[in-house]
Amino acid sequence: MDEQQLEQIRLHPDFRRLVATKTRLAWTLTAVMLTAYFSFVLLLAFSPSTLALRIGAGTVTLGIPVAVAFILLAIALTAVYVLKANGSVDALNESLKEQHA
Q: At what angle do helices 13-46 and 3-11 cross, to 10 degrees?
A: 70
Mean pLDDT of 86-101: 80
> Tell me, what's the pLDDT at 97?
80
Q: Which residue has the higher pLDDT, 71 or 96?
A: 71
Mean pLDDT value across the chain: 90
Name the residue among 11, 9, 26 with its Cα closest to residue 89. 26
12-53 pLDDT per residue, tens: 888 888 889 889 999 999 999 999 999 999 999 999 999 999
Name the residue among 88, 95, 99 with its Cα closest to residue 20. 88
Q: Are 14 and 90 in contact (CB under 8 A)?
A: no
Domain chopping of the chain, boundaries: 3-99
Supply the DSSP string of 4-46, one letter for each residue.
HHHHHHHH-HHHHHHHHHHHHHHHHHHHHHHHHHHHHHHHHHH
pTM of the model: 0.80
